[in-house]
Structure 1
Amino acid sequence: MSLTLAIVGRPNVGKSTLFNRLVGKRLALVDDQPGVTRDLREGEARLGDLRFTVIDTAGLEEATDDSLQGRMRRLTERAVEMADVALFVIDARVGVSPADEVFADILRRKGGTVLLAANKAEGRAAEAGLLEAYALGLGEPLALSAEHGEGMAELAGMLRPLIEAAEEAAEVDETETDVEIDWDIEDGEELPDFAPTVKKPLKITVVGRPNAGKSTLINKIIGEERLLTGPEAGITRDSIALPFDWDGVPMRIFDTAGMRKRAKVVEKLEKLSVSDGLRAVKFAEVVVVLLDAEIPFEQQDLRIADLAEREGRAVVVAVNKWDIEPNKQEKLRDLREQFERLLPQLRGAPLVTVSAKTGRGLDRLQQAIMKAHSVWNRRVSTSQLNRWLTGMVEAHPPPAPQGKRIKLRYMTQAKTRPPGFVVMCSHPDKMPASYTRYLVNGLREDFDMPGTPVRLFLRSQSDANPFKGKTRSTPSRLRKHLGKGRADER
């Protein structure tokens, strides 16, 4: 993308609606109440034949202190500095407010390229506000309706010369944009299917309860204050995706809203935030479940970890705020014991202690993520599986419920991500769950697949004779010939 456009303005003027319109997807949360957006969200915008990067920002507030509104304002001002063009949006139905005048003056002093747009300009009710916008001194206002898509052609006309100028000025060397990854591949050997690339980065989602330190951890990982943080719980609302390179591996990390118990989630906006976080889990490859060292493994933490396992994602459990833990060895021993006891379905998954504030333990977290991703993509040959299955059956034969012996005949791996195996057997519906767990645990241990979800499917393979009960038919020409022979004998 050659040009970056930041959408700025007061709360509730329609910035997120315009962002969704430009990217062609409902990525940003939209609601009638002001102040929904708090973090910066990037997206790849399409406007006709134009391609550029668009940034959705938090609503500009007049606060300049260390309050939540003040931190949101500083984050938005940083987005303006990062972007090539700022699109200042006002509400045409409300008109120019004193806050609009203050922010327009700030944008003028920054000296960058600023475009003025009056949103919600459909109908006659917006005519007065559109005329008032001339007084801001930012040039001719563009009448828009992000909700209905009006004014998009005019916006494209304003952006086209800016994008063309940026493309001419940019000297892009494609050889430098490709990230080289050392996977210890010998000459002539193909790159593994699961190897992340720039076009297909490794997708990581960080989930947990509110105030566990998810945004702080991601800021420390990417090395910049990109996400809004603070002592208040529930700051993050959108699921924000951030591309970055971690020790030569292209990744895309998702920050999610804190997930509380369902009974406590009553507001519409929080329901939308949690739903957005659950969607991020479904699209992830590795899910980092972040716990608070002071109150780890609460019921909600267990539910979140179980959700990631049921969705078939690779799971890494990280315990945050380890820098303030006084008895580290004793606490770590208790954590491992609780992990094995409370989450048996994730037995063997990595458990890493980190400090999002100081950055300690991030190297171990990166190694745990890469290992979990590798195991998640593990493939075992059919010959190995069938030799293993024979040994497992000899060591512990399956039961014979109601006197019907269950025969395990053949096994193969049907899929990866997560590993899925199919066993052809007789009477699969009568196989006890305990024996299925016995096979799954054996797969984890013997083929080094700790912690990752393992799917085992039983399929019926009947040994009945397919010709049993069928009469053997004689071809018509043969019957005619045999009948003629019998007639000659007579």
Structure 2
Amino acid sequence: MSKPIVAIVGRPNVGKSTLFNVLAGEKISIVKDTPGVTRDRIYADVSWLNYDFTVIDTGGLEPETNDEILKHMRTQADIAIDTADVIVFVVDLKQGLVDNDFKVADILRRANKPVLLAVNKVDNFEKYQLDVYEFFNLGLGDPIPVSSASKLGIGDMLDQVVEHFNENAKEDEEEETPKIAIIGKPNVGKSSLINKILGENRVIVSDMAGTTRDAIDTMVKYDHKEYIFIDTAGLRRKSKIKEELERYSIIRTVTAIEKADVAVLMIDAVEGITEQDAKIAGIAHERGKGIIVAVNKWDAIEKDNKTMKNFMADIDTKLSYMLYAPKIFISAETGQRLNSLFEMIEMVLQNQALRVGTGVLNDILYEATALKQPPSDKGRRLRIYYITQVSIKPPTFVLFVNDKELMHFSYTRYIENKIRETFGFKGTPIHFITRERKEK
């Protein structure tokens, strides 16, 4: 089941980034709203009560004039409406209600999404109670007083955020159809691929309008199986500001990956693999999704007998943390190797859901530790007592050890490779959790 997405919206300098950092539990974006500073960490995973969700910070650009601010706020509101399950609209107690707050409130009210109004910079609830009530005028329900800087009222706000999750969860449970996200940088051919898949008559079933205005989740039937394709290509908004466009496409990508079981990363064969490709791939890897690397426009390249080998090597170098991802060379224009792409998707879906018996796992572990001794430090050696698989999507294993500090990253990688040698797990990341068990 995909994690719900919570978007934070608000004017510049109302404290969005501070709130985001408090929720993320670490200083990841510098709080001064300098253009581009918060760009790298746009999203963070948050746990509250028994809920896990993703928080997205929609904007940190500082427009020049009032008109610009409103235009930027509208873009933010649009991003939030497009992608989020719950929207947190942050306003500033110290600045009071301003005209732009009303305009954005109007857009959000019509969105049919749960909107929570957080009044920030309230460092004394009793003293400022009446000032908080002023924000009732926005017509977004009860204002929630918070102080991001002093971390006050955050818990009450999160209680209200997670109350809205259950409404969406019910719809999710019914959907067992595998979801496939086509991801990649703009103009790499994502739409062409989806159109090609749909253009084959045996495939098209229906268009389901997604929650978003641009991205349409499309139901596809292929070889008697149904899939939902999530298209992230819906960047119809032409933004003059490069950062805003980039931020928007990253948020879109995060949302699509979050909803998907398998992500197909499209790379432009003519351009080769870029830093932006690696960034997008990293998001899917980090979130434990199945992944396939599809090199598009392969038909447009002059080839000799080394071309494919060299291209593969380049991908492996730049995506060295995900050598498990299968690669396929396609053409969205001609439909070359579409059949193989579907076969690959099926394989990855199966590997994501693969469960391995505890007995077999411990045999592999025993053999692995016999072949290569676990690391030691200051005379103390790592002992791994036991391994068991606790979940799927992605396959997750718990290792019980005598001392967590001794469980070196490279040794975890070694055990992962041993498990992959036996079971493959091609196309899916594997997660490990290390637990300490006191020696008897």
| Cross-structure match for 1:374 | 350
Name the CA distance, whole Å, in 2 between partners of 1:352 and 1:296. 14
Question: 1:237: how far off?
Answer: 8.8
Look up the match of 2:359. 383
User: Does the aligned pair in 2 maintain the 1:209–1:258 contact within 8 Å?
Assistant: no
CA distance in 2, matches of 1:279, 1:357: 26
Q: What is the aligned counterpart of 2:273 among 297, 300, 315?
A: 297
Return the alpha-carbon distance in structure 1 between the equivalents of residues 75 and 383 of structure 2: 62
Q: How far is 1:317 from its partner?
A: 0.4
Amino acid at match of 1:284: A
Root-mean-square deviation over aligned CA pairs = 3.7
Q: Which residue of 2 aligns with 1:347?
A: 323
Q: What residue is the counterpart of 2:258 in the other structure? A: 282
Q: State the shift of 1:344 in Å.
A: 2.3
Contact 2:381 2:406 in 1 (8 A): no
Q: CA deviation at 1:239?
A: 3.0
Closer, same or farther: CA 334–383 of 1 in aligned 2, 3 Å: same
Q: Distance in 2 between matches of 1:442 and 1:258?
A: 41
Equivalents in 2 of 1:363, 1:321: separation in Å?
16
Q: Does 1:315 align with 2:291?
A: yes
2:383 corresponds to 1:407: yes
Call closer, same or farther: CA 1:329–1:255 in 2, change over 3 Å: farther
Aligned counterparts, 1:433-472, within 5 A = 433-464=409-440
How far residue 306 of structure 1 moved from its aligned partner, in angstroms, is 1.6
**TM-aligned CA deviation for residue 252 of structure 1:** 0.6
Aligned residues of 1:238 and 1:273 also touching (Cα < 8 A): no
Shift in alpha-carbon separation, 1:218–1:149, aligned structure 2, 3 A:
closer
Q: Which residue of 2 aligns with 1:429?
A: 405
Could you tell me whether the CA contact under 8 Å between 2:364 and 2:418 is conserved in 1? Answer: no
| 1:184-224 Cα shifts (integer Å, max 9, x gaps) | xxxxxxxxxxxxx9942110001111110000010001117
The structural deviation recorded for 1:147 is: 6.5
Counterpart pick for 2:193 among 214, 217, 226: 217
Which runs of structure 1 show a deviation greater than 6 angstroms over 4 or more consecutive aligned residues?
A: 33-36
Q: CA deviation at 1:450?
A: 2.5
TM-score normalised by L of structure 1: 0.51
Secondary structure of the corresponding residue to residue 449 of structure 1: coil
Classify the secondary structure of the residue corresponding to 2:381: coil
Segments of 5+ residues of structure 1 without an aligned counterpart are 1-28, 37-41, 43-144, 151-196, 227-235, 465-490
C-alpha change, 1:431 and 1:302, in structure 2 (3 Å) is same
- Aligned counterparts of 1:147 and 1:433: Cα–Cα separation in 2: 45
Q: Say which structure, 1 or 2, has more relative contact order (CA 8 Å, 6+ apart).
A: 2
1: CA distance, partners of 2:217 / 2:251: 15
Residues 213/329 of structure 1: CA separation in 2 closer, same or farther (3 Å cut): farther
Deviations 1:359-411 (A, max 9, x none): 11101111111111111111100011111111111111202211112111111
Deviates more, 1:338-347 or 1:452-461: 338-347
CA contact (8 A) 1:257 1:277 kept: no
C-alpha offsets along residues 113-170 of structure 1, whole Å, 9 cap, x if unaligned? xxxxxxxxxxxxxxxxxxxxxxxxxxxxxxxx986569xxxxxxxxxxxxxxxxxxxx
Q: Where do 1:148-167 residues align within 5 Å?
A: none
Aligned residues: 275
CA 207–218 in structure 1, closer or farther in 2 if over 3 Å, else same: same
Percent identical: 33
Pairing 1:23-422 to 2, within 5 Å after superposition: 199-223=175-199, 238-257=214-233, 266=242, 268=244, 271-327=247-303, 329-422=305-398
Aligned partner letter, 1:380: V
Instruction: Give the CA deviation at 1:340.
Output: 2.4
